[in-house]
Amino acid sequence: MRILFLSLSVFILSTTIGCSNSSITPETYTTQNPDAKEILTLDPKADIFQLDGVIYQTGIEWVEELSLTKDEQVGEIKTRNDTDTNFEDGMSNKLPVGAKIYSAEESDEVAGPILLVESEGKLLKYYGLVEG
């Protein structure tokens, strides 16, 4: 009886080990923030700029409803690109060159990165389109 139990145990273990595939590696997925091409493909009329590798977009309804106060200047629009989707930091498709970019005092209280842009006497709210 003991030999039968031992033989059965060895058979089960060898079958289990033999059927396992040790060459399977787990798949890893990486996410990236959307780029200007992706945003403008989805919405060709989107008003966007890029800062620190992140695309910011205005006209997002829930962001427009927030009451925000400008804080420190964090950047400036250096170039305008309304002809293609190859964006770099400081580049916008609608804002004029020289428009000042500010952080919001309430940035810790809102969901997600929001920057304010002062342009032509108006304070515009831009939401950072980050993945994650």
| 73 belongs to a structural domain | yes
- Determine if the pTM surpasses 0.85: no
Write down the pLDDT at residue 106: 85
- Number of domains composing the chain: 1
Instruction: Provide the domain limits for residue 69.
Output: 36-128
Question: CB burial class (10 A; 0-12, 13-18, 19+) of residue 82?
Answer: exposed
Residue 1 has pLDDT above 70, yes or no: no
Q: pLDDT tens, 44-95? A: 999 999 999 999 999 999 999 999 999 999 999 999 998 888 999 999 999 9
| 24 belongs to a structural domain | no
| 2 belongs to a structural domain | no
| 84 belongs to a structural domain | yes
| 5 belongs to a structural domain | no
| 117 belongs to a structural domain | yes
Task: Name the residue among 64, 71, 72 with its Cα closest to residue 125.
Answer: 64
- State the chain's mean pLDDT as an integer: 84
| 92 belongs to a structural domain | yes
* Cβ within 8 Å of residue 123, ≥6 positions away: 70, 116, 117
| 17 belongs to a structural domain | no
